[in-house]
A and B are shown apart, each in its own frame.
Chain A
Amino acid sequence: MTTLLVCQPEDTSHITPEGHPERPERLIAIKQALSANRFSQLRRETSQSADLSLAALVHGPGVLRQIQAARPAEGIARIDADTWVSPGSLDASATALGAGMRALAAVALGEADNAFCAIRPPGHHAEVDRPMGFCLLNTVAIMARLAQQMYGAERIAIVDFDVHHGNGTQNIFKNDKDIAYLSSHEMPLFPGTGALNETGVGNIFNAPLLAGTDGEAMREAYRDRLLPALSNFAPDFIFISAGFDAHHRDPLANLNWVDNDFAWVTGKIMDIAEQNCANRIVSLLEGGYDLKGLAGGVTSHVAMLQDGTLKPGG
């Protein structure tokens, strides 16, 4: 596969308080992991700023207003218990959108088979009318709308394997039968949504996983529920909300995935992409807060995107 990696020009535009898990070092760890020899064939680009007014594709006007109002001239300001904004946070949001757009264009136009965007802040908790859970704008949701509007894709699937349910993405698309949201996540856990019976208009597929479970439970959930649903949906385009906090090392959750589990689930999604939409996948970073776990998970995910095979022993 030709895999495109898109990074933001700055790692430190979006600042969070000392000790906050969603921190610039995450991107540094990812870049270091993806500088290994095995990734020498990755196409690499740096994103430019996109227009923040694109937020209106999925968010109400209050969200940008709220972020802009909270944004301090210096230091950092709190939006909620978890979510912070610094002077450069909107720049980071703009370049995160820009990264998604570049990846979307490359994959939609056939320049690359798939793409991974190493971006922060994450986005999948941001709802129509509120930023939350470390997220300001819902980048993957905006990309889904752009895939429809700019590239004529009709049926978009968003697969979210971040350990936290993407309440924002679900909230945005719960009434849209052309966009499927499929999520595996620990439950009970923040944000509290993601029950089996939350099905939207037949387009929402949730697979809650119990704390303490490992890749075996994950595989069962994907085999029994999420992969058949994804296949039945027959998407024109697949986005992945790629969070790596289901890793056993992660401090914010209690699942026990190992690096290979991320490779496995990626490979299964790629199989369906091959059958339905000419391999088209754009993956965007969401969570993952232990730097080693994050590096291991991202390495496995991107290696699978690039090579299409589990590494030896997997």
Chain B
Amino acid sequence: MSEKTETEISSLSFEAALSELEKIVAKLESGEAPLQESIAIYERGEALKAHCESQLKAAETRIEKITLSKAGEPTGTAPLDE
């Protein structure tokens, strides 16, 4: 069951994972879910959160700065200084 969950989560886009995570948070905060279900969805939420974080980190390493010409026109990109 957990393997299937992980595979399924890893194929989600950032937006889809975030959206599902937000729904889980809302459900947990509402207190409507019984305890067993709460634990299960909490675990899924943790997995979704980890997935979102790794996607953000991958995006950060691809951010570059745009280089401008003298007249202010974009001419290309260069690595962002750390």
Contacts and interface: CB of A to CB of B under 8 A. Distances in A.
A39 to B, nearest CB: 30
Contacts of B72: 252
Contacts of B67: 192
Chain B contact residues: helix, strand, loop or mixed: loop
B71 interface: yes
A20 B72 CA distance: 11
Interface string B6-31: 00000000000000000000000000
Contact of B71 (A21, A125, A191, A192): A21
Contact of A134 (B70, B73, B75): B70
Contacts of B75: 81
B61 interface: no
B68 interface: yes
A82 interface: yes
Interface residues of B, number: 8
Select the residue from A82, A125, A164 with max chain B CB neighbours within 10 A. A82
A257 to B, nearest CB: 18
Contacts of A192: 67
A20 B71 contact: yes
Interface string B52-70: 0000000000000001111
A233 interface: no
Contacts of A81: 69, 71, 73, 75
Given A190-B69, A190-B70, 19 more contacts: A20-B71, A21-B71, A80-B69, A81-B69, A81-B71, A81-B75, A82-B69, A82-B70, A82-B71, A82-B73, A125-B70, A134-B70, A134-B71, A164-B70, A190-B68, A191-B70, A192-B67, A252-B71, A252-B72
Interface of B: 67-73, 75
24 contacts: A20-B71, A21-B71, A80-B69, A81-B69, A81-B71, A81-B73, A81-B75, A82-B69, A82-B70, A82-B71, A82-B73, A125-B70, A133-B70, A134-B70, A134-B71, A164-B70, A190-B68, A190-B69, A190-B70, A191-B70, A192-B67, A252-B70, A252-B71, A252-B72
